[in-house]
Structure 1
Amino acid sequence: MPTGLVLVVEDEPAIADLVRRYLLRDGYGVHVESDGDRALAACRRLRPVAVVLDVGLPGRDGIAVCRALREEGDWTPVLFVTARDDEVDRVLGLEIGADDYLTKPFSPRELVARLAAVLRRQGEPARPAVLEAGGVRMDQAARTVLVDGAEVALTVTEFNLLETLLRSRGRVVARAEILARAWGQADYGSSRTVDVHVAQLRAKLGPGSPIETVRGVGYRIAG
């Protein structure tokens, strides 16, 4: 199962590619943006597990991006990366809600290690061991799914997809977010992949499948 999608916001292609390769090697999915406005849109759309955010972006800089996220109530962990090594910059970044700060040039291994440490410190809110909807019962600890009491065999991808939808019960989940959460990637050219897997999952869940299609957007399980 993917470790989660990390949004990398960096306007220097060589650095972005280096960070991307090291994160992929450690099991993260990665989506890259090069400016602040697109980074904010990607955060809202993909809901990454963390953001690696360059401070010196063209247009809306990293400080402004982080401030906008926090003002929206989005507390996704943010690891700042900057070419500046000024204490005022570091303090400002931390005061507006950044979780860590790394100065260029940096070791990509250190960046991955710091990101992992931030995620460990943050931890995940307590999750119910059992998720249920419309006759479907998922036991995460046992990795089993029952439909009206009968066990249904799912592939790892189908299990992750169903878990993503059950956790977002009552909310429409866009295809891009499903790719990010269930596959750990944000390959928009593969949105058809989501449709194919949802169709297979529905077939296994039977005629009472609680998965609904929201035309032009994605899928949901009614709350």
Structure 2
Amino acid sequence: MSKKILIIEDEEGIRRLLRYDLKQMGFDVHSAKDGREGLEMALDGQFDVIIIDWMLPYYDGIELVSRFRGRGLNAVLIMLTAKDEEADILEAFEAGVDDYLSKPFSPRELSARITAHLRRVDMNHELRRIEVGDIVINLDQHTVMVAGENVELTKKEFDLLIYLLQNENIVLTRAQILSEIWHFDYDGDTRIVDVHIFKLRTKLEDSNVKINSLRGVGYVAKRE
């Protein structure tokens, strides 16, 4: 079955181009012209990927992302925008997007990113369950248990924990984490990684799996 994609974009030319290109690639493509229509369609349909323009009538892209994550949507969310400042990028990822693409962009690059995200989702579904120490992750139900107790994580914290546990005892640099979890290369401030690690450590403080830091290098998950 074809993967289902929703495009939320108010510029008709971009919307038409994306719809055409993605259909040519075999996707089942739907589109919305503003934030209100996009919100209704996203909540009514089971979409694998939602492509969202930042500047939209009624609800902007950031508000849509927050609403989607608040409703428990696990679709891959990709933000399209002319904004490319560090603060804008961080705001988008903090809101819950999986990827961020600045306009103008290459349709081939967008397709490659969509394919990579969907491949990762499919691999995670195949794994279904991850157990390291007293941490048990159910990928289908999107739950995390620590020593038998449920722990609530945001989507990014969830993805970050999976990445760390799948690389147990391996030091992961901040650049690797940014690339894998936030899907962008950035040579400047990596505080977004440190902030999420701090929050994750706090939530996992009772676990026998610890996230250790290697100063100037990165982080590693180890059992005590």
TM-score of the superposed pair, with normalisation by structure 2: 0.54
Aligned partner of residue 125 in structure 1, secondary structure: helix
Higher-Rg structure is 1
Aligned partner of residue 79 in structure 1, secondary structure: strand
In structure 2, C-alpha distance between the alignment counterparts of 1:127 and 1:8, rounded to whole Å: 29
In structure 1, C-alpha distance between the alignment counterparts of 2:50 and 2:101, rounded to whole Å: 13
Q: Greater relative contact order (Cα 8 A, min sep 6): structure 1 or 2?
A: 1
Aligned partner of residue 74 in structure 1, secondary structure: coil
Cα drift, residue 38 of structure 1: 1.1
Aligned to 2:103: 104
Aligned partner of residue 125 in structure 2, secondary structure: coil
Aligned to 2:77: 78
Cα drift, residue 106 of structure 1: 0.6
* Aligned-pair identity (%): 38
Where does structure 1 lack aligned partners over 5 or more consecutive residues? 129-223
In structure 2, C-alpha distance between the alignment counterparts of 1:114 and 1:127, rounded to whole Å: 21
In structure 2, C-alpha distance between the alignment counterparts of 1:78 and 1:98, rounded to whole Å: 5
- Contact 1:9–1:32 under 8 Å retained in 2: yes
- Contact 1:56–1:83 under 8 Å retained in 2: no
Please identify runs of 4+ aligned residues in structure 1 that moved more than 4 A. none
In structure 2, C-alpha distance between the alignment counterparts of 1:20 and 1:9, rounded to whole Å: 11
Aligned to 1:62: 61
In structure 2, C-alpha distance between the alignment counterparts of 1:115 and 1:20, rounded to whole Å: 14
Where does structure 2 lack aligned partners over 5 or more consecutive residues? 129-224
The number of residue pairs the alignment matches comes to 127
Aligned to 1:46: 45
In structure 1, C-alpha distance between the alignment counterparts of 2:39 and 2:81, rounded to whole Å: 18
Cα drift, residue 76 of structure 1: 1.0
In structure 2, C-alpha distance between the alignment counterparts of 1:49 and 1:21, rounded to whole Å: 18
- Contact 1:51–1:79 under 8 Å retained in 2: yes
Counterpart residue type for residue 26 of structure 2 = G
- Deviation string 1:133-160 (CA, Å, 9 cap, x unpaired) is xxxxxxxxxxxxxxxxxxxxxxxxxxxx
TM-score of the superposed pair, with normalisation by structure 1: 0.54
